[in-house]
Structure 1
Amino acid sequence: MLIRPQPGKGAAERDRGQVQHPFTTAFGFIHGGVSLDSFDHVARNDTAVLELAQHVTEYRNPTWGREHAASGSLVVTLRSGERLSH
């Protein structure tokens, strides 16, 4: 899974966000979870998911190295400005 697109690697698929964190995060919010079926042709073209994915932004913790590669947190900022974190 990629946090952001990698230059020159499968641009057409990459642009649909099938393996990016914004896509998988949005898919999980809308459909309640992510599985292998989340990456089929229909799922990759789900307009609601693609629209929400445009609002997902990643922030890297500059103090984390490779030992934290599988670590992370999630903060959701609602339109009201309220922040939810996990």
Structure 2
Amino acid sequence: PQPHQFNSTQPFFMDTMEPLEWLQWVLIPRMHDLLENNQPLPGAFAVAPYYEMALATDHPQRALILAELEKLDALFADDAS
């Protein structure tokens, strides 16, 4: 992506990136960076509900993506309790 696409104040960079771009270029690299640098992970969060709305119902990988994001959300929900 272009550098300006990272300059967003919107959740999930909704105004500058497509939903899967945000996963690829923001969330996944950020999580890797936190883990590699022994930084604390974020508290409870949920990304699956956004993707349930944002991904087209006919997206060929929709079910797989949502299942994996629900697992991720569950990990953080368990960690917060």
TM over 0.5: no
Report the TM-score when normalising by structure 1. Answer: 0.24
Q: Which has the higher helix share?
A: 2
Report the TM-score when normalising by structure 2. Answer: 0.24
Q: Greater RCO between the two (CA within 8 Å, min separation 6)?
A: 2
Q: Which has the higher strand share?
A: 1
